[in-house]
Amino acid sequence: MSGRWVGSRYCASDQGASDHGAPVQHVLSGAIVGLALLALPCAPNHAESRVPELTGRALSSTPDARHGEVLYQKFCAGCHRKNGRGSDESAVPALAGQHPSYLIKQMAAFIEFEREDSGLHRVLAQAELSRPQSLSDLGAYLGSLPVNRESNIAHGSSDAKAIAEGERLYADNCSVCHLPTAEGDAEHFLPKLRGQNYSYVLMQLRRLAHGHRFDTSDALLAVFDAMTSAEMEAVANYLSRLPPAPTHTAAR
């Protein structure tokens, strides 16, 4: 498959291969179905985004995780916590152990106003942080941190039936893209969802459902749109309780 990036979204096309993100082959057939849903044809004259270029330049830099740590502790730890696990009470996402490629793409999207959140734009657009090298360093440092261990489940239900319902909903609607392990896929910028903070997952599901967030294809919107509030809570509850995968590796 070939295509190009329009906005921060990968568009299927016959002409021109993308520098990154072109889903050529995947060992898991489920992921191919998911990626086909992601790569929809886009309008031809859409303004080109700078997110793919910034992301690509950061991904081709050689990361210095120690410098990433210095930047992180100076600019980010106040909200995302020293250990990178964020905060359930304030719906601040855990960044620890997330795929560097996904983190870099999101940082680029905040910098370029392609992901809503003016506060974070102001932080990340500073000259010291918005360079490709800094994004690469931050991604490498955060990706190397251990994933959430004490899960942030302040609001979720510990009822076994509620958790099983979340697991079923996840398997039916989400695992095709985020993988059955909820480990996501670094190569295709798919976030790891295991152990993510409950309130943050819920907030993002509501935003995704309302088309407030970036890179969402119509097919994906339809998945979220069909979910009730109770179903979103169940799936967020299930995901926030998943322990780190035994196979966890900081990919890319």
**Contacts to ligand HEC by CB under 6 A:** 34, 37-38, 75-76, 78-80, 92-93, 95, 103, 105-107, 117, 119-120, 123-124, 129, 138, 173-174, 176-178, 189-191, 193, 201, 204-205, 213-215, 220, 223, 235
Q: Please give the backbone phi and psi of residue 146, each rounded to the nearest 5 degrees, phi first.
A: -65, 140
CB 143, min distance to ligand HEC, A: 11
Q: Which residue's CB is nearer to ligand HEC, number 176 or number 186?
A: 176
Q: How far apart are the first and last CA of the chain?
A: 22
Q: Which residue's CB is nearer to ligand HEC, number 123 or number 163?
A: 123
CB 62, min distance to ligand HEC, A: 19
Q: Which residue's CB is nearer to ligand HEC, number 34 or number 156?
A: 34
Residue type, 48: E
CB neighbours of 189 closer than 8 A, spacing ≥ 6? Answer: 21, 99, 101, 102, 105
Q: How far is CA 212 from the centre of its chain?
A: 15
Q: How far is CA 141 from the centre of its chain?
A: 16
Q: How far is CA 135 from the centre of its chain?
A: 15
Helix (H, G, I), strand (E, B) or coil at 92: strand
Q: Which residue's CB is nearer to ligand HEC, number 4 or number 80?
A: 80
CB 74, min distance to ligand HEC, A: 8
Q: Which residue's CB is nearer to ligand HEC, number 183 or number 215?
A: 215
CB 223, min distance to ligand HEC, A: 5
Tokens of 187: 């190569």
CB 224, min distance to ligand HEC, A: 6
Spatial contact of 237 and 133, defined as CB atoms under 8 Å apart: no
